[in-house]
Structures are given as C-alpha cells and as structure tokens.
Structure 1
Amino acid sequence: MRIFGLKACDTCRKAAKALDAELVDIRATPLDPDQIEAFHTEFGAALINTRSTTWRELDEAARAMDPVALIQAHPAVMKRPVIERDGALTLGWSKDVQARYGV
C-alpha cells in the first residue's frame, strides 16, 4: 500500500500512520505522467484541489492547463491523499475512506 501526498500535509501523515503505509511525497518524488493520468482517469475533476492555496495563487492560464500537466507543474494542487492498494485507488481521507480501510 502506498499513499501519494505531501510529507508536510497533516492528513497524509495521519493516513500513512493509520494504515501503516509508505508515504510517497509527490514533491520529493514527482509522479510520472502515466500515474497522474491514471489518477485523473479514476477521479476526474475531483483530483484538482480548487480550495488549496496553490490553486488560488494560479493565474487563469495555469488553471486552464491540462490536469496532468498542471499537477506535474504544481504537485500541491492535487487533492490528497491518493491511496493505492492492490491496484485500487482511493482519494481523500474522509470517514468513508477510513471505514473502507477499517480505521
């Protein structure tokens, strides 16, 4: 099981600790375009965190970028964590996600 997020993100750290999973910091270890595309295929527009500080600081041209290119250029704009377990992907750390993993 791997958790894709930011090591500075409290939610990502909580998820990694609760699931005893590897936390992959997407700033230190950038995702390749195929991974981002797989995440985007699974979650669509929900993959972009439009409530983040990073998003709010982007100009209109950057906001209009292809989501894969946008996440490559600005990893912190990706909603997190993305949890990968046995090929299945989950987005976020809501009560529903926690229940799914028995936390």
Structure 2
Amino acid sequence: MLMVVLPGPFYKYEVVDLQTAFSGFKFSLYAGIAALILLIIQILFKRETVSLSSTLTAELVDAAEQAANNLGWELVNVDANISIAKATDTTAWFGFKDDVLIRVTDDATNV
C-alpha cells in the first residue's frame, strides 16, 4: 500500500526522480495484482475440511513436535490432550526470541 502512495510525495519533495517514482508505483501494482490473483486461486480451490479423530490429532501434534525439533526450535510444551505444541525460535541475525504456538483443531474457522 505504501509503495502505491509514497512515490508521489517522494517525487514532489525531490527524494527520488520521476523515473524511480514511476518504477516503484509500477512494481507495487504488479505485486498487488499478484496478491489478488493468489487470493482468487485460494478461494477457488478451498476444500471442505474433515473432522479429525483423536488418534489423528495426536499424530499431528507429534508431527508438529518433530517439525519443531527439525527446525531447531526450543520446545516449551507439547500436550496431545489439548492438541498444542509450544516452542521458542531464536532468530539468527539479532537473536530475537519468537514464541510459536501450533494448535491442531478440526474447526475450519481456526485456520
């Protein structure tokens, strides 16, 4: 959104030249169109969800735990009874800690 709005004021206050302003505007429109196409594709190919059994839910929580281990995340809590896996990821560059919560549900509204 900012890439569509900012080229005008940037050119007006001589931060960028006219060609750069139009290039930024043009590529932001391309990105917006691509995002719209991806949204339409997602809407067209959306599948109905099926109800998960408790055995399958436990297997998915185990798979989430294994994926977290493979990604190098620090596991905080894994509880198959409530279908969650909590982990902490540390970024490589600045060392920020990000909390990750994986919740397995069969409710289509909690995607």
Fold shared, TM-score > 0.5 on shorter chain: no
TM-score by length of 1: 0.24
TM-score by length of 2: 0.22
Structure of higher CA gyration radius: 2
Which structure carries more relative contact order (alpha carbon 8 Å, separation 6+)?
A: 1
